[in-house]
Amino acid sequence: MNNLLKIPDGWQEKKLKDILTIGSGRDYKHLDKGDIPVYGTGGYMLSVNDYLYDGESVGIGRKGTIDRPVYLNGKFWTVDTLFYTHSFKQVLPYYVYLIFQSINWKQHNEATGVPSLSKVNIESIKILLPPLSEQQKIAEVLCSVDEKIEVINQQLLVNEELKKGLMQRLFSKGIGHTKFKDSPLGKIPKDWDVKKLGDISDVTAGGTPSTKEKAFWGGSIPWMNSGEINLRRIKVVEGRITEAGLANSSTKPIPTHSVLMALAGQGKTRGKVAINEIEVCTNQSLAAIYNFREAHYEFIFQNLESRYQEIRKMSTGDSGRGGLNLSIIKSIQMAMPPLPEQLKISGVLSTIDEKCENLHLKKNEFQRLRTGLMQQLLTGKIRIKNVVEA
C-alpha cells in the first residue's frame, strides 16, 4: 500500500510505526505445559504455562512464512520467527489485521534465501487510516463475511468427518450385511470377493512426446500432468498447461470416467486420485485405470481415495518424486461387492461429495466478495455508508 496518491476525506496517511509497536517472539522451551497457546508462522504449535502478551494483537512472520498474518486475542506466546503487535494508537487491532492482509509482504522480503522481514522495514510501510468510527464499520462488514466463511468451514468439516467414518465402514462392512468371512483384507461380507485392481481393469501410464513430433502437438485434447490431480473430478483443464500441451486425436486419449492416479509429484501428490469427466491425455506422472470389469468407476475412485496413506506406503519411496508404478497399482487388492451394492455405496459417498463441492463454491463466492470489499473499503474507494445502505 505504498505510493498512495489520493487520501480520502477524513483519512490520514500513516507509517505503521506511528500506530503500533512490533514485539519479538521468544523461545518457549524453558516453559512447562499449560493452557497458553504458542504460535509460529504456521499457526498454533502447543500450549505452555506462561504468556508473552495478553490482549488483541496481529502476528506477522519474521522469517519463513511472511505473508500470513494472524489475529490473536487473549494470552499467548509467539516464537522468534513470528512478530506480534501491541500498543495500538488510533487504530483497532482487528483493523490492523485487515491492513496486514492487504499488504504484499513478499515485496518487502529482505532475503535472497529464506524470506525475512525486519522491524524497521515493517515500521516504514505506509497505510491509509480512516477515523476509528469508520474502522469499526469496515471491520464489522468484513467480520460478518468472515463469520459466514467460518460457518461454511464448520459445515465442510462435519461432512468430511461423516464421509471419513462412512468410508471406513462401507468398504469393509457394506450395507445391511450380517454374515462375514475371513479374507486377505480382514473380515468382509460373505458375498464379496477380493480382487486385484489389475484383474478388474486396465492400467496404463501416459508419456511426453518430443516437441518434434508435430502430429501430437496442437490438437484439442487436454494433456494432463499430476498437477491437476487435486481437482478430483476433471471437468476442464486450462491455465495449467503450456500452449503446446494439447494432444491431437491421433494419440490415444484416456476415456471418460477413468480413474487417474498420480505416480509421481512433489509433496503429497503421489497416490492421489481423480475421475476425468472429459477425454484427456496424460504424461508419465499419471496412471489411468479404466475398462472396468464388474466394477464401477465411482466405487473404485472412492475406495482408492480412502486408502491414500496405505497406497503411498506401497511406493518405493515416500519423499521427493517417484515411487508408485503400474505393477504396484495392478497389485492393489480390493474388497468387491456385487455391482448393485457398489452403486449404492458410491452413491452415498458421492452425495456427500456434492454437498462439499457446493459448500466450496459458496465459500469461494464469499472469499471473492471479501477480496473485493477489502480492495474498495481499505482504500476508501467505497465509503462504508454506501455499503451499509446497499
Instruction: Note whether 18 and 129 are within 8 A (CB).
Output: no
346: which 3 cell numbers?
458410491
Q: How far apart are CA 160 and CA 158, in angstroms?
A: 6
- CA dist 366 and 133 (Å) reads 25
Q: Do residues 106 and 65 lie in contact, with contact meaning Cβ atoms separated by under 8 Å?
A: no
The CA distance from 287 to 273, in Å, is: 9
* Rg value, the chain, Cα: 27
Domains of the chain: 12-129 (3.90.220.20), 193-336 (3.90.220.20)
Please check whether residue 370 is in contact with residue 173, taking contact to mean a CB–CB distance below 8 angstroms: no
Tell me the per-residue pLDDT of 344-382, one tens digit each, with 9 for 90 and over.
Answer: 999 999 999 999 999 999 999 999 999 999 999 998 888
pTM score = 0.77
Pull the grid cell for residue 194: 477380493
pLDDT at position 340: 94
Segments of the chain with pLDDT less than 70: 1-5, 209-220, 236-251, 265-267, 316-322, 385-390
CA–CA separation, 205 and 210 (whole Å): 17
Question: Which H/E stretch holds residue 193?
Answer: strand 193-196
How buried is 121 (Cβ within 10 angstroms: 0-12 exposed, 13-18 middle, 19+ buried)?
A: middle
Predicted confidence at residue 2, as pLDDT, reads 43
Is-contact 68 107, C-beta < 8 A? no
Q: Name 270's Cβ contacts closer than 8 Å, sequence gap at least 6.
A: 226, 262, 263, 264, 312, 315, 323, 324
**Cα angle, residue 134 at apex, residues 129 and 138 outer, rounded to 5°:** 95
Strand partners, 204: 288
Which DSSP state fits 7?
P
Give the Cα separation of 370 and 144 in Å (integer).
10
The pLDDT score that the predictor gives to residue 279 is 80
The distance in angstroms from the start CA to the end CA of the chain is 27
Report pLDDT digits (tens) over 291-312.
Answer: 999 999 999 999 999 998 888 8
